[in-house]
A and B are shown apart, each in its own frame.
Chain A
Amino acid sequence: MSNQLSRRSILGKIGATLAGVLAAPVARTAKAAVQKVLVTTGAPKGYDPTRHKWVMAIDANRCIGCGLCAEACKKENHVPEGAFFRTWIERYVITKPKPESGETRGETLVDCPDGGMHGFPALSIPKEEIQHSFFVPKLCNLCHHSPCVQVCPVGATFDTPDGAVLIDPKYCIGCGFCIQACPYGCRFLNPVTKTAEKCTLCYHRITRGLKPACVEICPTQSRVFGDLKNPAPDDPLEKFYQNNRVQALKPHLGTEPRVLYAGIDKEVR
C-alpha cells in the first residue's frame, strides 16, 4: 500500500510539528515587536501589558451626580467640546405608579445634560411621586467579546493584554463601523482627528502608576479601579466584588462587559 507509514514520513511529520511548535513563540515575539513599533498606545517604554489586568467597577449607590469625572475626563484627554464624551453620567428617575393603575412602577425618565459634566438641574417632579432616583456613570464597558474590535476593518482598535480596549489613532481610517457596533454608545468620531475615540481607562496614566482621571477626582469613590493581577493591600476592587451583587449592561448581547455595576436597576441600558 502506498499510504503505509514509513520512517521517513513519520520523521517528516514529527519534524514539521516541532518546527511549528518552535515557530509559534518566534511568531508571537515578532508580532509583539511589530506591534511595539507600529502601534501607538501612549504607554511608557518598558511597560509590560502582560503583567497587569486593569478594570473599573461602578458603585452607583455612591454616585452623587456631581459630574466632576466627566469634566476631568474631557480635560485630561482633550476631548472636543460638544456632544463627545468618553465618560458621562446618566440620571434615572423612576416615578411611583399612578394610584389604582395596577402597575408596579411609573415612568422612567432619563437625562444627561451636557454629559452630566456640570451636575444636574433640580427635578420638576415632586419628591413624593418619585420611587427611585439614582445616577449611573457610564464608560467603555471593556467587553470580553468587544463588538467594536470585531468589526474594525483594519484592526486599529484592539484588546490589550492588560484589559484595556484601545484605538490606534494613527491607523484608524475613520469609517465609524466600531461606533455603530458599540451597544453602549461609548464611542464617537473625533471631529478634529477624524478618528474613532473612546475611554482608554486613561492608558497614559495607568501605565505610569496613576489612576484614571475620573477615578482620581471622584469624591465618593463611586468609581472603583484596580489591577486584578497586582491587588493592593486592602484592595477596593476585591471589596467591591465581595460586598455587592453586580450587574452588567445589556447582558443579552453577549458582549460580557468587564465593567460591572452595583446598585443599578433593570431600566439601565
Chain B
Amino acid sequence: MTTEVTNVLFEVMPHFEGYVYPNEATQQPLWSILIVLYPYITGLVAGAFIMASLVRVFNVRALEPVYRLSLLTAFAFLLCAPLPLLFHLGHPERCLEVMMTPHLTSPMAIFGFVYAWYLMAVLLLELWFDYREDLVRWSETTPGFQGILYRLFTVGVMDVRKPALELDHKIGHILSIIGIPSAFLLHGYVGFIFGSIKANPWWGNALMPIIFIMSAMVSGIALCIFNYMVLSWIRRKAIDMKCLDTMCKFLFYALVMDGAIEALDWIHRIYSAEEGFQVIQYMAREKLFYTLSVGQLAFGTLVPLLLLGVLQLIRLRVPEVMRRRMYFTSSALVLIGVLAMRWNVVIGGQTFSKSLRGVMSYKMEFAGLEGWFMGAILLALPFIILTVMVKLFLSEKLATTPPWEPPTAGAGQRPDFRTEPVRP
C-alpha cells in the first residue's frame, strides 16, 4: 500500500512477495503507463463522439453549443490513440505488419482495422461533411496560410448549392448513426483485448468490454464538459447553463450505469470467488488501495455521483456559480477516476503473479519511455492538437453554419457559445 506513495517520491527497488514465476520478476510490468494511457485516450474518443451523437442522432438540442467541440475533441484524441501503443512496441518499425498481415484471431490485430475504420470512415468523413460549407466559405474569405489550409481541406469540392448541401447533411446524419456502433466497437474492442486474456483472472472477464464502453462514455462526456468550461473561461464567454446542465445530466446517467456495471462485476467476483480470488482481494485491499478505493471508487465515482445526483434533485435552488463549480469538480474527478480505473486494470492485472502465489511491486520511473514524463507528454499531446483545431475550426472570428441548420439559413445566427454576450 505504501509503495504506491513512496514510488512517486523516490525510487524503490522492485520487490516481490510470495512466489512469482521467474519471468515475471522483472523491473517493470510488461505493459505500464503507455498501455494505461492507450485505453484511456481511446475511451475519451468514444465518449466524446457519443456526446456529439446526442445532438445529431438523438436530437438533444440543448447540447448544440458543444457539438463541434465534442467532434473535434474526439478527433484530436483519436489521432493520439495509437501513439502509446506504437511507442510501447519492441519493434515499432514493424507496426504496419498488424495491418498488412493481420492474425485474425487476435483482438489486437482487429483493433487496427476498427481504429482505421473509425478514423477514416467515420470521424474524418463526418467532420468533413459537417464543415464542408464552412470550409468553402472560409477558403474564400480568409487570407494567407490559413486560407490555403482551408482550401486544401475542401479537397477541391467547392459546390455549395442547395442540393449539394442537403446531400452533405444527409451523409453526415448517416455517418453519425454508423458512428455510434463504431464508437462502441472501438472501445469495446479495447476492453476485449484485456477481457480475452483468460490466463489473468483480473482481466479475463466477459463484462470487460461493457465496463470499458460505459467508462468510456463517462470519461468522454466529462472531457467535453471540462473542455467546454475551460474554453469558455479562456475566451471569457458566458457558459450556456442549459447546455451544461444537460451535459451533466447525461454524465450522471452514464456514471450511474457505469457504477452499476462495475459493482456487478465486483459482486460477481466476490460471490463466485473463483481461483485467484484471494490474490485479487489482497490486491484490492493492499496494492491498489489508493488507485482503486480512493481514486476510482471514492473520488472518481462516489463524490461525482453525489454532487451530480444532488444537482439533479435541487438544481434550481443552487446558484449558477456554485453549480458551475460543482460540475467542473465532478468532471475533473471523473476524468481522474477513469484514469485510475485504467491504471487499476492494466497495472493491477500485472502486479500479481499468474502462479497466484505472489505479488509484485511496481516502481514507475520518471524519465524513460515508460515514465511519468512520457506519460504526461502523451496525455498533453491531444490537448495541444485540440487547441490547434479549435483555433482553426472553432475560431471566434469565423462565422459557422452548424450542420443541424437548414442549408439555406444564414451563418452565425444561432446562439451558441461563440456568439453569446460576454459574461459580466
B161 / chain A contacts, CB cutoff of 8 Å: none
- Does the CB pair A173–B88 fall under 8 Å? no
Stretch of A14-22, A96-104, A118-126, A186-194 at the chain-chain interface: A186-194
Chain B nearest CB from A33 CB (Å) reads 16
Cβ 8 A contact of B199, one of A84, A115, A152, A253: A253
Report how far A251 CA is from B197 CA in the complex, Å. Answer: 16
Report how far A153 CA is from B95 CA in the complex, Å. Answer: 10
For residue B194, which residue of chain A has the nearest CB?
A180
Whether a CB of chain B sits under 8 angstroms from the CB of A217 is no
- Does the CB pair B88–A175 fall under 8 Å? yes
Q: Which of A50-74 contact B (CB under 8 A)?
A: none
Whether a CB of chain A sits under 8 angstroms from the CB of B112 is yes
Cβ 8 A contact of A176, one of B24, B30, B196, B203: B30
Chain B nearest CB from A193 CB (Å) reads 8
- Does the CB pair A189–B90 fall under 8 Å? yes
Whether a CB of chain A sits under 8 angstroms from the CB of B366 is no
Whether a CB of chain B sits under 8 angstroms from the CB of A179 is yes
Interface centre among B19, B22, B200 (most CB of A within 10 A): B22
Chain A nearest CB from B194 CB (Å) reads 9
Whether a CB of chain A sits under 8 angstroms from the CB of B354 is yes
Whether a CB of chain A sits under 8 angstroms from the CB of B170 is no
Whether a CB of chain B sits under 8 angstroms from the CB of A161 is no
Report how far A177 CA is from B197 CA in the complex, Å. Answer: 9
Report how far A175 CA is from B38 CA in the complex, Å. Answer: 13
**What would 27 A/B residue contacts be, using CB atoms closer than 8 Å?**
A83-B22, A83-B23, A84-B23, A109-B19, A112-B21, A115-B22, A147-B198, A150-B105, A150-B106, A151-B106, A151-B197, A152-B106, A153-B97, A153-B102, A172-B91, A173-B95, A176-B30, A177-B106, A180-B199, A180-B350, A184-B354, A185-B21, A185-B24, A252-B275, A253-B198, A254-B198, A269-B355
Main secondary structure of the interface of B (DSSP, over half): loop
For residue B18, which residue of chain A has the nearest CB?
A110
Whether a CB of chain A sits under 8 angstroms from the CB of B315 is no
B91 / chain A contacts, CB cutoff of 8 Å: 172-174, 194-195
Report how far A179 CA is from B23 CA in the complex, Å. Answer: 10
Whether a CB of chain A sits under 8 angstroms from the CB of B25 is yes
- Does the CB pair B109–A153 fall under 8 Å? yes
Cβ 8 A contact of B23, one of A108, A155, A186, A193: A186
Q: Which of B113-156 contact A (CB under 8 A)?
A: none
Whether a CB of chain A sits under 8 angstroms from the CB of B160 is no
- Does the CB pair A183–B112 fall under 8 Å? no
Report how far A177 CA is from B198 CA in the complex, Å. Answer: 12
Report how far A173 CA is from B94 CA in the complex, Å. Answer: 6
Whether a CB of chain A sits under 8 angstroms from the CB of B2 is no
A171 / chain B contacts, CB cutoff of 8 Å: 94, 97
B197 / chain A contacts, CB cutoff of 8 Å: 147, 151, 180-181
Whether a CB of chain B sits under 8 angstroms from the CB of A259 is no
Main secondary structure of the interface of A (DSSP, over half): loop
From known contacts A154-B98, A180-B197, infer whether A112 and B90 are also in contact, taking CB-CB under 8 Å: no
B89 / chain A contacts, CB cutoff of 8 Å: 173-175
Whether a CB of chain B sits under 8 angstroms from the CB of A142 is no
From known contacts A173-B91, A175-B90, infer whether A110 and B357 are also in contact, taking CB-CB under 8 Å: yes
Report how far A152 CA is from B197 CA in the complex, Å. Answer: 12
- Does the CB pair A173–B22 fall under 8 Å? no
Q: Which of B188-216 contact A (CB under 8 A)?
A: 193, 196-200, 203
Chain B nearest CB from A265 CB (Å) reads 13
- Does the CB pair A180–B30 fall under 8 Å? yes
Cβ 8 A contact of B25, one of A83, A151, A173: A83
B101 / chain A contacts, CB cutoff of 8 Å: 154-155
Whether a CB of chain B sits under 8 angstroms from the CB of A48 is no
For residue A268, which residue of chain B has the nearest CB?
B355
A252 / chain B contacts, CB cutoff of 8 Å: 275
Whether a CB of chain B sits under 8 angstroms from the CB of A182 is yes
- Does the CB pair B355–A185 fall under 8 Å? yes
- Does the CB pair B103–A85 fall under 8 Å? no
From known contacts A174-B91, A175-B89, A181-B197, infer whether A110 and B355 are also in contact, taking CB-CB under 8 Å: yes
- Does the CB pair A269–B90 fall under 8 Å? no
For residue A111, which residue of chain B has the nearest CB?
B19
Whether a CB of chain A sits under 8 angstroms from the CB of B356 is yes
Whether a CB of chain B sits under 8 angstroms from the CB of A88 is yes
A150 / chain B contacts, CB cutoff of 8 Å: 105-106
Report how far A179 CA is from B108 CA in the complex, Å. Answer: 14
Report how far A153 CA is from B354 CA in the complex, Å. Answer: 22
Whether a CB of chain A sits under 8 angstroms from the CB of B371 is no
A172 / chain B contacts, CB cutoff of 8 Å: 90-91, 94
- Does the CB pair B199–A154 fall under 8 Å? no
Interface centre among A88, A156, A173 (most CB of B within 10 A): A173
B82 / chain A contacts, CB cutoff of 8 Å: none
Chain B nearest CB from A34 CB (Å) reads 10
Cβ 8 A contact of A152, one of B21, B103, B196, B350: B103
